[in-house]
């Protein structure tokens, strides 16, 4: 791979929601350390530091994916892969997403695991259902949840679906390639091509609870990201501007203000926005005014 291709891949990832994305061909041609470095930079921006345990997990996951793709051969070269894709409503990240014509494969790795735990099964299935229910590009494709427990015993797997989501497939380090081969045999060559950029940019419209919204804010996400399912960006900006003005007036006139943010059903802006974005420590305890927006 040329240096220009690597630079383009890095630039694409820096501006995407996922921590890393590329075609399978680029993924296989890129040094493992380069991919881990990209993941670590994005991880550090959100969590302050990339711990050694997480870096080791990424290295193992990359090697498992490389080995699985090599078993398929050239057929997988034009597929796309995304690593560490955030699901803001759940406050989690999907380990890997594989984009195959007509299929969105959701892969959850459990490095070092020797069995398939019930909680891990539920976690992986929940990721797949979240994409089907809230992610626009996934809704027209088959979403396949794959739980890869590195050292677990071999399982028999078949590809069956219910309402757009396949039955959970359980794989290990040795059988992940067989799972990819199964998906290759079921792909839809006439499906509209979906790149990592298109997948990343596709609207994801969950409706977060107040607690989930607050968790997302304090994890470093932008207000617009967690509110995309509840209000248009323009409405969010208008609401934020109104709150900033109220806060500035309160500081100028030495008043204490409580803001209640409400809106029509299906477009409500999370009330915690006013709390997170406008700290009350700026306002002096002189008088009290109630403001509604």
How many angstroms separate the CA atoms of 219 and 215, rounded? 6
Does residue 186 have a pLDDT over 80?
yes
Whether residue 104 sits in one domain with residue 149: yes
- Can you say how many angstroms the Cα of residue 131 is from the centroid of all Cα atoms in its chain? 9
Q: What is the share, in percent, of the chain residues with pLDDT greater than 70?
A: 71
Given 201, 225, 251, which residue is the final one in a domain?
201
Whether residue 265 sits in one domain with residue 183: no
Q: Which domain holds residue 94?
A: 3-201
Task: Kindly write down the DSSP assignment for every residue of 183-241, as one continuous string.
Answer: HHHH--TTSPP--HHHHHHS-B-----HHHHHHHHHTT--HHHHHTTTS-HHHHHHHHH
Give the pLDDT score at 289.
Answer: 39
Give the pLDDT score at 217.
Answer: 60
Query: Coil, strand or helix: which one is 110?
Result: strand
Given 182, 201, 220, which residue is the final one in a domain?
201
**Residue 282 exposed, middle or buried by CB count within 10 Å (0-12, 13-18, 19+):** exposed
Give the pLDDT score at 221.
Answer: 56
Whether residue 217 sits in one domain with residue 190: no
What CA–CA distances, in Å, run from 59 to 52, 55, 69, 81, 159? 11, 6, 16, 15, 28
Whether residue 144 sits in one domain with residue 82: yes
Whether residue 135 sits in one domain with residue 16: yes
Does residue 11 have a pLDDT over 80?
no
Whether residue 172 sits in one domain with residue 282: no
Angle made by CA atoms 198, 200, 202, in degrees to the nearest 5 = 65
Please answer whether residues 30 and 12 qualify as being in contact, where contact means their C-beta atoms are separated by less than 8 angstroms.
no
Whether residue 265 sits in one domain with residue 166: no
Read off the DSSP letter of residue 286: S
- State how many domains the chain has: 2
Does residue 284 have a pLDDT over 60?
no
Please answer whether residues 108 and 124 qualify as being in contact, where contact means their C-beta atoms are separated by less than 8 angstroms.
yes
Q: What is the share, in percent, of the chain residues with pLDDT greater than 90?
A: 42
Give the highest mean pLDDT range of 21-25, 48-52, 105-109, 283-287.
Answer: 105-109
Angle made by CA atoms 145, 150, 152, in degrees to the nearest 5 = 90
Does residue 81 have a pLDDT over 90?
yes
Among the ranges given (15-24, 164-173, 232-241), the one the predictor scored with the smallest mean pLDDT = 232-241
Whether residue 171 sits in one domain with residue 47: yes
Whether residue 180 sits in one domain with residue 251: no
Helical pair 32-47 and 52-72, crossing angle rounded to 10 deg: 140
Residue with tokens 């088959």: 142
Query: Coil, strand or helix: which one is 267?
Result: coil
Whether residue 151 sits in one domain with residue 169: yes
Give the highest mean pLDDT range of 76-80, 82-86, 94-98, 284-288.
Answer: 94-98
- Can you say how many angstroms the Cα of residue 139 is from the centroid of all Cα atoms in its chain? 16
195: Cα within 13 Å, side-chain hemisphere: 9
Give the pLDDT score at 104.
Answer: 96
Reported residue count of the chain is 293
Please answer whether residues 233 and 203 qualify as being in contact, where contact means their C-beta atoms are separated by less than 8 angstroms.
no
| pLDDT band, residue 263 (cuts 50/70/90) | low
Whether residue 179 sits in one domain with residue 100: yes
The more confidently predicted of residues 25 and 276 is 25
Give the highest mean pLDDT range of 130-134, 248-252, 267-271.
Answer: 130-134
Task: Write the pLDDT tens digit of every residue in 56-78.
Answer: 899 999 999 999 999 988 888 99
Tokens of 146: 């794959």
Please answer whether residues 45 and 220 qualify as being in contact, where contact means their C-beta atoms are separated by less than 8 angstroms.
yes
Given 174, 201, 228, which residue is the final one in a domain?
201
Please answer whether residues 166 and 159 qualify as being in contact, where contact means their C-beta atoms are separated by less than 8 angstroms.
yes
Task: Write the pLDDT tens digit of every residue in 194-223.
Answer: 899 999 889 888 766 566 566 666 565 555
Give the pLDDT score at 66.
Answer: 95
Does residue 238 have a pLDDT over 50?
yes
Whether residue 188 sits in one domain with residue 215: no
Tokens of 219: 């994890």
- For residues 243-260, give the mean pLDDT: 86
């Amino acid at each position: 791979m040329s240096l220009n291709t690597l630079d383009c891949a890095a630039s694409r990832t820096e501006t995407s929601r996922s921590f890393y994305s590329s075609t399978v061909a680029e993924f296989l041609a890129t040094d493992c350390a380069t991919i881990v470095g990209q993941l670590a930079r994005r991880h550090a921006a959100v969590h302050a530091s990339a711990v050694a345990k997480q870096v080791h997990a990424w290295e193992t996951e990359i090697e498992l994916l490389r080995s699985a793709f090599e078993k398929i051969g050239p057929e997988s070269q034009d597929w796309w892969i995304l690593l560490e894709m955030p699901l803001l409503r759940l406050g989690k990240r999907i380990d890997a997403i594989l984009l195959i014509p007509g299929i969105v494969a959701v892969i959850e790795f459990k490095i070092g695991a020797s069995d398939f735990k019930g909680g891990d099964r539920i976690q992986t299935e929940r990721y797949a259902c979240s994409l089907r229910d809230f992610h626009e590009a996934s809704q027209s494709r088959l979403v396949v949840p794959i739980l890869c427990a590195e050292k677990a015993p071999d399982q028999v797997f078949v590809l069956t679906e219910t309402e757009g989501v396949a039955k959970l497939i359980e794989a290990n380090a040795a059988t992940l390639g067989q799972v990819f081969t199964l998906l290759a045999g079921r792909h839809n060559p006439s499906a509209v091509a979906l790149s990592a950029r298109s997948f990343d940019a596709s609207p994801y419209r969950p409706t977060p609870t107040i607690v989930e919204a607050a968790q997302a804010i304090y994890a470093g996400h932008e207000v617009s990201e967690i509110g995309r399912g509840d209000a248009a960006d323009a409405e969010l900006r208008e609401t934020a501007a109104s709150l900033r003005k109220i806060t500035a007036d309160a500081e100028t006139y030495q008043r204490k203000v409580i803001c209640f943010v409400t809106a029509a059903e299906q477009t409500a802006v999370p009330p915690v926005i006013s709390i997170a974005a406008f700290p009350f420590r700026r306002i002096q305890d002189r008088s009290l005014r109630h403001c509604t927006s």
